[in-house]
Each structure stands twice: as structure tokens, then as C-alpha cells.
Amino acid sequence: MVDKIPKSGYYNTNTFALVTLRAFDEITGRNGVNTILRHANLPHLIDNYPPHDREKVFDFADYSAIMQSLEGIYGRRGGRVFTLRAGRATFNELLATYGGLVGVSDLAFRLVPLKIKLRIGINAMAKVFNMVSDQETVVYERPDFFYYVVKRCPVCWGRSGEDLPVCYSQVGLIKEGLHWVSNGQEFDIKEIRCRAMGHEECAFEIRKEPIS
């Protein structure tokens, strides 16, 4: 069972937490999610998911416990696969809910050249996640890469002593976002800094050239 993580005072919206749990439903089934929630010391969420609204009340500590629980149950490799898939599924629901607010769901956006779409799309994703949580995301552009930096990360909040990055669901969210933006192409994304490893922030390096 995951050690109780002290409440952070930072929050995701109910909708963000809800669509994440729904994504796990699709991957593990409801019984699998119930096991994850028990392991995360969050039994009150069993059959009692957050409502579909934009109120920021789902604490980062609880979100992190869910992610850590998944890894604890399925192992590091299995947890990585599941959280990547969940991140991708979560993006699709968030796009339907929030995409229109930042212009990324417009057909005209998808018709612009790829390099411009990437720049607009990555910054739009950061804007969406700043809207749906207190995670404070910024994007820096370099000649060959984008750096997607999460200054307060809900995925690994309260974790420490890890020897490898653990924010797989963030990678999945970014991957699916770029897959949508680019009309089906895949991009190399690596987490190069992680708070769970002792860094001050979580940072992801996104190569501009697609790999497929």
C-alpha cells in the first residue's frame, strides 16, 4: 500500500481526475481501478468518482498516490505502459472538454504547416493543463527541441528517492497531443528531469522531427 502523502494544497480540476480514472477503467476494468484506489489509500473514490466540473479540489497528493499505486501493483514496466496509455486516453477527453477554449480543436489549426502546428499545439497543451490544474507548465523552444517544463507536477508529487523519472502519464499526454496535432505522427519525448529524483521541476525534451 502506498504511504500516505501529505496534502499539497495544489489541485487538479475534478474533470481532470475524472477523465484519468475513466482512462484506467478502459485499461484495467473497474475492478482493477478499485484495487488501485485501495492500494493508494483512497477507498472513498471507489464507485464515487469526482464530478465532471472545473472546480479545482482534487489534491495533487491523491493524484500522485494513484500513479504510484499503479506502479506498485503492476511493477515499474507495467505501470509505465498503463500510465502512458492512460495519459493518451486522458488527452482525448480533455481535448473534447477544453480544446475549443484554446483553439486547438479548430479544423483550420490542423491545416497549417507542421512546424507551426507543433509550436502552437505544445503551447496550447501547456495552457490547457494550467487551466485544469495548479501544475504551472511552461514551454521553451530550441532549434531542435521543445522543452516542456512542469514546475509543480501532480504525477510525482510527494515522491522522492527515485533513480529514474516516473511521470509516464505526462509523457502519454504529450505524445497523444502531438499525435493529434500532427495528424498521426509520433515524436520522441523523454523526461530529462523529475522531482521524484530530487530535481526542482519535471522537464520533458521533445524532438521537433517526427520519428514516424
Give the model confidence (pLDDT) of 8-63 as tens digits.
Answer: 999 999 988 998 898 889 888 999 999 999 999 999 999 999 999 989 999 999 99
- The pLDDT, as a whole number, for residue 167 is 94
CB-based contact 147:140 (threshold 8 Å): yes
Over residues 92-139, the pLDDT tens digits come to 777 766 666 555 556 566 677 888 888 988 988 888 888 889 999 999
N- to C-terminal Cα separation, the chain: 39
Identity at 138, one-letter amino acid code: V
Question: What structural domains does the chain harbor?
Answer: 11-207 (3.90.1520.10)
Phi then psi for residue 113, to 5 deg, are -55, 150
DSSP state of 5: P
Q: Report H helices in 51-156.
A: 60-102, 107-110, 114-132
Over residues 166-190, the pLDDT tens digits come to 999 899 888 888 888 888 899 999 9
Strand partners, 12: 58, 133
Nearest to 33 by CA among 46, 16, 44: 46
Chain-centroid distance of CA 203 in Å reads: 13
Q: What is the pTM of this model?
A: 0.90
- The pLDDT, as a whole number, for residue 44 is 96
Q: What whole-number distance in Å separates Cα of residue 96 and Cα of residue 89?
A: 11
Q: What whole-number distance in Å separates Cα of residue 142 and Cα of residue 3?
A: 39
